A and B are shown apart, each in its own frame.
Chain A
Amino acid sequence: MRLVLWIAGAFALFSLLLIFLGEDNTPSSSTARSANTQPAVDRPAEAPELTHGAADARVTLVKYMDFKCPLCNSLHQNAMQEIDGAYIESGDVRVVYRNLASLGPDSPRAAQGAYCALEQELFHEYQDTTYAYMWDNYYSQGLIQEGEFSDVLTTDVLRQTFSSVGGDGNAFVSCLEDETYAQLVEADRQLASRDGVRGTPSVVAAGEVIVGAQPFSIYRTFIESLL
């Protein structure tokens, strides 16, 4: 009996340790709500936002992503599609996409590409094809390390994938080469830090963070609690 209590105690202690470690990842409600303690973020109010869903939706999910991250790929292809069908189409949920581009030199390039694609109103198509490119050429073949850490999303690859969805490839490339949105991508990173997000994918809403590519049921319960 004493041993059972000891094991239960060990589990409880361990959970407390996890909560303690997790506090860095997850902002407490007070941190999330007190604006004056948050670091200033250099993101102009009029700057373009990568969004999906009705502007007056009751719940806004902020999704931090990296086009190179395999779990972001998994989340995009699975749970996000179901969230789209169940909550975004009905107008209950809106998703704001922000970049936390950290996996290799092509991560920030692909992130800037998202804003360049938005100029031509092709962000969603760009997002779909870029994730599909990474999935088809790397992750579905088990080339996780190579896909994550090599410079694979070159300007040429991004131009080709963007052109394949009907975009103006030349305008897209000049936008990338001018680094028009480099500061905006940096601002996204600062926002991630402010939201207590350390990695991708992370979904933030109402001061809570869902880390990783979780099954749809996790997001569904969380969304239902906010609706």
Chain B
Amino acid sequence: MSMTPPLSTRAVISLRGVAGVLRYPRYALVFIAMSALSLGLVLWSLNIGLLGYVLFEAPLSLLQKLGFLLDIYGSIATNYASGQAMTITLFSILFGLNITVLLYVSRRGQREVLRSKQSGGSMFFAVLGGGCAACGTALIGPLLGTFGASVSSAAIADIGIAALAFAIILTLYSLFGLGQKAATAQATQRQQERGAFSKDQTHEK
């Protein structure tokens, strides 16, 4: 009969699993790339049409177009209040971690990584929470309007913040499970390495 360890123990195991993944330089690179990509996606979400125009229609050089793609990262300082900017950055880091650990776990044979559904869901909520919901420059307003909901600006602002918080909770939940799977995969790998080592020693004797 197996007993489930307490939550705090599982959290520590999960953290160790995540840290273990980031010790590999290639996974650390994937983490940086995926975090940057998810941050870019949240920041560009309000101006996707403009991005399409500049990348595919505007008479600009390739260098200018690439620069434009990266310029959006500056909007974290101009388009968001400090609390919201920190929340979006935190979400992007967690999302990048999530995808990285997901890749690690799946490459080690644990393919039942259905928790990735939460990653997609969390990105959806993060995008909804981006922008100034009260001013109408967030996707949450038009989306509520699509469903026929009529909500005051103040309420929309609160819903936007709640969507961001929900995105972070979903990502953390997903990461919690994936981290444990990563820790299990790392432990299995260590056992296999030890087994191989003791076999070698027996052969030498």
| Residues of chain B with a CB closer than 8 A to A141's CB | none
Select from chain B the residue with minimum beta-carbon distance to A19.
B48
B29 within 8 A of A: no
Q: Is the CB of B50 within 8 A of A210?
A: yes
Q: Is the CB of A211 within 8 A of B137?
A: yes
Q: Is the CB of B79 within 8 A of A74?
A: yes
A199 within 8 A of B: yes
Q: Is the CB of A71 within 8 A of B75?
A: no
Question: Which size class do B's interface residues fall under?
Answer: 35 or more
Q: How far is the CA of A11 from the CA of B66 in the complex (A)?
A: 19
Q: Is the CB of B142 within 8 A of A25?
A: yes
In the complex where A149-B153, A225-B59 touch, is A14 in contact with B48 (Cβ < 8 A)?
A: no
Q: Is the CB of A213 within 8 A of B154?
A: no
Q: Is the CB of B50 within 8 A of A144?
A: no
B99 within 8 A of A: yes
Q: Is the CB of A213 within 8 A of B75?
A: yes
Q: How far is the CA of A217 from the CA of B59 in the complex (A)?
A: 16
Q: How far is the CA of A213 from the CA of B74 in the complex (A)?
A: 10
B54 within 8 A of A: yes
B22 within 8 A of A: no
| Residues of chain B with a CB closer than 8 A to A10's CB | 120
Q: Which of A191-217 contact B (CB under 8 A)?
A: 198-202, 208-215, 217
Select from chain B the residue with minimum beta-carbon distance to A226.
B58
Q: Is the CB of B141 within 8 A of A199?
A: yes
Select from chain A the residue with minimum beta-carbon distance to B99.
A7
Q: Is the CB of B106 within 8 A of A3?
A: yes
Mark each residue of chain A from 29 to 57: 1 if its CB lies under 8 Å from any CB of chain B, else 0.
00000000000000000000000000000
Q: Is the CB of B78 within 8 A of A213?
A: yes
* A: number of interface residues (CB 8 Å): 50
B71 within 8 A of A: yes
Q: How far is the CA of A71 from the CA of B76 in the complex (A)?
A: 12
| Residues of chain B with a CB closer than 8 A to A149's CB | 134, 153-154
Pick from B50, B68, B77, B139 the residue with the most CB of A within 10 Å: B50
Pick from B60, B132, B135, B143 the residue with the most CB of A within 10 Å: B135
Residue from the list B37, B78, B137 in contact with A198, Cβ < 8 A: B137
Which candidate, B3-11, B39-47, B170-178, is the interface stretch facing chain A?
A: B39-47
Q: Which of B41-90 contact A (CB under 8 A)?
A: 41, 44-50, 52-54, 58-60, 64, 67-68, 71-72, 74-75, 77-79, 81
Mark each residue of chain B from 119 to 136: 1 if its CB lies under 8 Å from any CB of chain A, else 0.
010011001000110111
| Residues of chain B with a CB closer than 8 A to A201's CB | 135, 137
Q: Is the CB of B78 within 8 A of A199?
A: no
Q: Is the CB of B135 within 8 A of A14?
A: no
Q: How far is the CA of A205 from the CA of B123 in the complex (A)?
A: 30
Q: Which 5 A-B pairs have the closest CB atoms?
A: A199-B136, A26-B49, A215-B74, A225-B58, A199-B137
Interface residues of B (CB under 8 A from A): 37, 41, 44-50, 52-54, 58-60, 64, 67-68, 71-72, 74-75, 77-79, 81, 99, 102-103, 106-107, 113, 120, 123-124, 127, 131-132, 134-139, 141-143, 153-154, 157
Q: What would be 20 A-B contacts, judged by CB atoms less than 8 Å apart?
A: A3-B113, A11-B41, A18-B45, A18-B139, A22-B45, A22-B46, A69-B135, A74-B79, A78-B78, A103-B135, A148-B157, A149-B154, A199-B135, A209-B47, A215-B71, A215-B78, A218-B68, A221-B67, A221-B71, A222-B50
